Amino acid sequence: MTRRVALVTGGSRGIGAAVARRLAADGFDVAITYRSAGERAAAVVKEVEAAGGRALGVRAEAADPGELVAAVERTVRELGRLDVLVANAGIAPCGALEDVTLAEVDELLAVHARAAFVLAQAAARHMEAGSGIVFIGSSLAERVPYAGWTAYAMSKSALVGLTKGLARDLGPRGITANLVHPGSTDTEMNPADGPDADEERRHTALGRYCSPEEVAAAVAYLAGEGGRAVTGTALSVDAGVTA
């Protein structure tokens, strides 16, 4: 049987690494991208291989469209096909509205919104019926319970329209496009013992952080057989922060 191939951006740590491990456990060959954490990406590659899959680590700056397209092309060339794209790489600068610079706004839009578009466009050229695209958004695209996150929320909200548009563009070819909105998730970006963690927990219905593995489980559902009829939608894994 032909093995399915996934490309996960920002797979060197956090949610992306958890998605790579989970898809490997589900029988995928997995390519991951990273920006600077080459050794950590190599460790994730080894974990995927230990699970029985083929794996590939590719350095690709998410703000550079050429590097993103090259990562897609290299995945197809070396792993043979592309069934699932998970656009996850992200950054989380925050701060008072008056301090936000245009350079920060441009970087957020490039890394989150433009990168997702470029990756989806490049991936779609290679995808066949039964393939799927999953974007990692944020609960802050749905509800912003604290000040200081305006530009980040704006950059993640763009993924809502992108997801719906792609669902219509690619649906006739049997390709799905969906969005997973994590809430506070215990990673280096937002550690569960960080200075703002107690306030973040207070805003959730469950009173806790999510784990990267819980977010990865939602991605695995959308990427797997069970999610074949789901497209153009957003799935929140946020401990009820948007409830």
| CA 36 to chain centroid | 17
CB atoms within 10 A of CB 207: 10
**Active site residue ranges:** 152
Element (H, E) at 134: strand 132-136
| Using rule CB under 6 A, residue 155 touches ligand NAP | no
Whether the CB-CB separation of 7 and 72 falls below 8 Å is answered with yes
- Chain position carrying tokens 């301090």: 99
| Using rule CB under 6 A, residue 219 touches ligand NAP | no
Supply the minimum distance, in Å, between the C-beta of residue 108 and ligand NAP: 9
| Using rule CB under 6 A, residue 37 touches ligand NAP | yes
Supply the minimum distance, in Å, between the C-beta of residue 209 and ligand NAP: 8
Which parts of 46-65 interact with ligand NAP (CB under 6 A)? 61-63
Element (H, E) at 85: strand 84-87
Supply the minimum distance, in Å, between the C-beta of residue 105 and ligand NAP: 15
132-136 and 234-237: which strand pairing? unpaired
Choose the stretch contacting ligand NAP; rule: CB under 6 A; options: 42-50, 125-133, 169-177, 185-193.
185-193
| Using rule CB under 6 A, residue 16 touches ligand NAP | yes
Q: Which amino acid is at 193?
A: D
Rank residues 202 and 228 by Cβ distance to ligand NAP and give the closer one: 202
Rank residues 25 and 192 by Cβ distance to ligand NAP and give the closer one: 192
| Using rule CB under 6 A, residue 92 touches ligand NAP | yes
Choose the stretch contacting ligand NAP; rule: CB under 6 A; options: 22-30, 45-53, 158-166, 187-195.
187-195
Rank residues 53 and 137 by Cβ distance to ligand NAP and give the closer one: 137
Supply the minimum distance, in Å, between the C-beta of residue 26 and ligand NAP: 19
| Using rule CB under 6 A, residue 90 touches ligand NAP | yes
Give alpha helix (H) positions in the chain. 14-25, 38-50, 65-79, 102-108, 115-124, 150-170, 197-202, 212-223
Return all residues near 112 (Cβ < 8 A) that are at least 6 apart.
Answer: 90, 91, 155, 156, 158, 159
* Crossing angle between the packed helical segments 150-170 and 115-124, to the nearest 10 degrees: 20
Site size for ligand NAP, by CB under 6 A?
28
Which parts of 98-117 interact with ligand NAP (CB under 6 A)? 111
| Using rule CB under 6 A, residue 138 touches ligand NAP | yes
CA distance from start to end of the chain: 42
Binding site for ligand NAP (CB under 6 A): 10, 12-16, 34-37, 61-63, 88-92, 111, 136, 138, 182, 184-185, 187-190
